[in-house]
């Protein structure tokens, strides 16, 4: 067990987030001789990675090839993928997966000893490597064990990254070599004290922003922290209108949403409406294995037409032992909640699942701010386009973190250490406990606003209503932020409001329906696909 270093201080690299992107990057960077601190705002295993059921899409079968995987990704991305990026990431996949195996990930195998490859929506071949239906958990556990053995990595739990410190904040009159990263502020959640970390490199691997919606498959930590931090630092953010809604989450009247993996449909499950009809064949030639945006809209349409609160997912034609063997976690969870997947269809509805846009990066994980990098769901590389192909997310994270580690190594090799002290955090002190109630109310109002007005099907009028409400909430939280001490709830709400504004602003810029962005005012797709990019105007 490595000793816990005192919080704060100087490192070569600060990593925000402890999912597959952050952990694999930290291991690669430390292996190159750099000191690394991983900051995670809750427990080290709290990440979107830990909740990933399906697996990682990679070409391993003889019947498959890179061109097929690229083609499936481009089709799902609906014209907005960067084909060069897609080819590079798909090509790098097999080697990065071999490294996961070396770190201790044991992917499921069939009776012949070969990988038990799954198939999910939008894939023309079986290419999903998985560990039954808990792939993310298996990857997270293996990487955390590797990090625990790494000599140059400190993993600091309960440290909430607040904002990036740039060199122009040290001395605006003596700026040398251009504006770049100098460190960040982070809240030590357990002590309530804000700590200053000094480092020339920050890697944002903080995941997505599913908690901006009322119903989501994401854990509580998914509040868009890295995306909001980058935007406040003046870095470009793009394609935030493309929020993927997973088609099949278990319906409950309490509002909780448990993800039922797309792999269940890959093994033959069928979606049925309240009449018992298998309706997906009316919406797409691939029927239940169509891309996620199409399946989610089809379910939404079926529910609206019938007034039903959900549709049904039916896999009862498969043997019970097959279901229990392939999907043990899903089967147990459904059974605990009163549904036997092997005996009867289960009720499902869409829920917010994945942020396809994010911090704009190149293929080296570099942003427009020297020293700032992004990987995983927080980043927008050009792989996903207007709709992510199932199980490409873990692939992107591990490939881009490897590339980011190489880029960071080159950046630090030519870096001259800046010894100037960083500006101290100003704690404005205290706060009225009665005012804390406002945070809960505003959090609830924001998530309901996004769900009602910025959901699966949109209109310009609804988007404008959402923008007005977000602006009002932002002003309230801005006043609160600058008058009281910070805590986790305040920081998360501040970030969610920033992300919500980015989603709506990007959605209003896109005057067409493409991929995950369907808007009634502009039902047709434009001939030329363009990114929607937003850059914050920094205050000087």
- pTM, full prediction: 0.92
3-state class (DSSP) for residue 439: helix
Among 207, 192, 73, which residue's Cα sits nearest to residue 127? 73
Among 392, 363, 333, which residue's Cα sits nearest to residue 20? 392
Active site annotation includes 292: yes
Among 48, 62, 56, 23, which residue's Cα sits nearest to residue 131? 56
**Beta carbons within 10 angstroms of residue 226's beta carbon:** 32
Reading the block at residue 144, the tokens are 């955390």
DSSP string, 197-245: EE-SEEEE-----GGGSSSBSS-TT-S-HHHHHHHHTT--EE-TT-EEE
Q: Which residues pair with 358 in a beta bridge?
A: 238
Q: Cα separation of 492 and 103, whole Å?
A: 32
Reading the block at residue 200, the tokens are 């020339």
Out of 292, 297, 403, 510, pick the active-site residue: 292
- Answer yes or no: are the C-beta atoms of 293 and 353 closer than 8 Å: no
- CA atoms in the 13 A half-sphere facing the CB of 355: 36
At residue 3, the pLDDT reads: 41
Residues 319/321/322/326 CA torsion (nearest 10 deg): 150
At residue 291, the pLDDT reads: 87
At residue 76, the pLDDT reads: 94
Residues 6+ apart with CB under 8 A from 270: 278, 280, 288, 313, 314, 315
What pLDDT digit, counting tens, does each position of 424-441 carry? 888 766 666 666 677 888
3-state class (DSSP) for residue 51: helix
- Answer yes or no: are the C-beta atoms of 141 and 179 closer than 8 Å: no
What pLDDT digit, counting tens, does each position of 118-131 carry? 988 889 999 999 99
**Are β-strands 56-57 and 128-129 bridged in parallel, bridged antiparallel, or unpaired?**
antiparallel
Residues 6+ apart with CB under 8 A from 104: 142, 145, 146
First to last CA, the chain: 45
Q: Cα separation of 501 and 478, whole Å?
A: 14
Q: Cα separation of 359 and 363, whole Å?
A: 13
Q: Which helix (H) or strand (E) holds 517?
A: none
E strand residue ranges, 107-180: 128-129, 153-157, 159-166
Domains of the chain in sequence order: 9-241+356-413 (3.50.50.60), 246-352 (3.90.700.10)
Reading the block at residue 441, the tokens are 């109310």
At residue 537, the pLDDT reads: 56
**Beta carbons within 10 angstroms of residue 256's beta carbon:** 12
- Answer yes or no: are the C-beta atoms of 354 and 243 closer than 8 Å: yes
SS (H, E, C) 272-298: ECCCCCEHHHHCCCCHHHCCHHHHHHH
Report the chain (540 residues): mean pLDDT per 10 consecutive residues. Answer: 58 96 97 96 64 81 95 96 98 96 94 90 92 88 94 95 92 68 95 94 96 92 96 96 94 82 90 96 94 91 92 96 91 91 95 96 97 98 96 96 98 83 80 69 93 95 97 90 85 96 97 96 95 71
């Amino acid at each position: 067990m490595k000793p816990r270093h005192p919080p704060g201080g100087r490192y070569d690299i600060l990593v925000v987030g402890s999912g597959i992107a952050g952990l694999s990057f930290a291991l690669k960077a430390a292996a190159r001789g750099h000191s690394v601190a991983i900051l995670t705002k809750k427990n080290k295993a709290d990440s979107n990675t830990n909740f990933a059921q399906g697996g990682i899409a990679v070409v391993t079968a003889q019947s498959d090839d890179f061109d097929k995987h690229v083609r499936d990704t481009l089709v799902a991305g609906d014209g907005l993928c960067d084909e060069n990026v897609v080819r590079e990431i798909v090509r790098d996949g097999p080697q990065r997966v071999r490294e996961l195996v070396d770190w201790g990930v044991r992917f499921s195998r069939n009776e012949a000893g070969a990988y038990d490859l799954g198939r999910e929506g939008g894939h023309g071949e079986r290419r999903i490597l998985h560990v039954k239906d808990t792939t993310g958990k298996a990857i997270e556990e293996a990487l955390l064990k590797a990090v625990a053995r790494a000599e140059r990595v400190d993993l600091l739990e309960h440290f909430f990254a607040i904002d990036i410190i740039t060199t122009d904040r040290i001395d605006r009159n003596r700026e040398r070599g251009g504006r770049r990263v100098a460190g960040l502020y982070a809240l030590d959640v357990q002590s309530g004290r804000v700590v200053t970390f000094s480092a020339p490199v920050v890697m944002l691997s903080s995941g997505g922003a599913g908690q901006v919606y009322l119903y989501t498959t994401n854990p509580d930590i998914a509040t868009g922290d890295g995306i909001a931090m980058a935007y406040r630092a003046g870095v470009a953010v793009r394609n935030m209108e493309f929020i993927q809604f997973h088609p099949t989450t278990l319906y409950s009247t309490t509002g909780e949403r448990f993800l039922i993996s797309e792999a269940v449909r890959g093994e033959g499950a069928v979606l049925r409406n309240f009449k018992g009809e298998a309706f997906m064949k009316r919406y797409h030639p691939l029927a239940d294995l169509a891309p996620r945006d199409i399946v989610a809209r089809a379910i939404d349409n079926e529910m609206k037409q019938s007034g039903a609160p959900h549709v049904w997912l039916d896999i009862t034609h498969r043997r019970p032992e097959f279901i229990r063997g392939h999907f043990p976690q899903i089967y147990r969870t459904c059974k605990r909640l009163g549904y036997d997947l092997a005996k009867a269809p289960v009720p499902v509805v869409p829920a917010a699942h994945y942020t396809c846009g994010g911090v704009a990066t190149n293929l080296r994980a570099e942003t427009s701010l020297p020293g700032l990098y992004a990987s995983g769901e927080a980043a927008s590389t050009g792989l996903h386009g207007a709709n992510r192909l199932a199980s490409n997310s873990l692939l992107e994270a591990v490939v881009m973190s490897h590339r980011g580690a190489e880029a960071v190594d080159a950046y630090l090799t030519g870096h001259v250490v800046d010894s100037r002290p960083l500006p101290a955090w100003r704690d404005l002190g205290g706060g009225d406990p009665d005012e804390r109630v406002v945070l809960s109310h505003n959090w609830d109002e924001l998530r309901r606003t996004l769900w009602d007005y910025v959901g699966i099907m949109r209109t310009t009028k609804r988007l404008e209503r959402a923008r007005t409400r977000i602006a009002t909430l932002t002003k309230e939280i801005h006043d609160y932020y600058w008058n009281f001490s910070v805590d986790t709830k305040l920081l998360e709400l501040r970030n969610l409001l920033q992300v919500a504004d980015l989603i709506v602003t990007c959605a209003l810029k896109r005057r067409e329906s493409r991929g995950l962005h369907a808007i009634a005012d502009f039902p047709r797709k434009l001939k030329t696909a363009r990114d929607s990019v937003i850059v914050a105007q920094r205050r000087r």
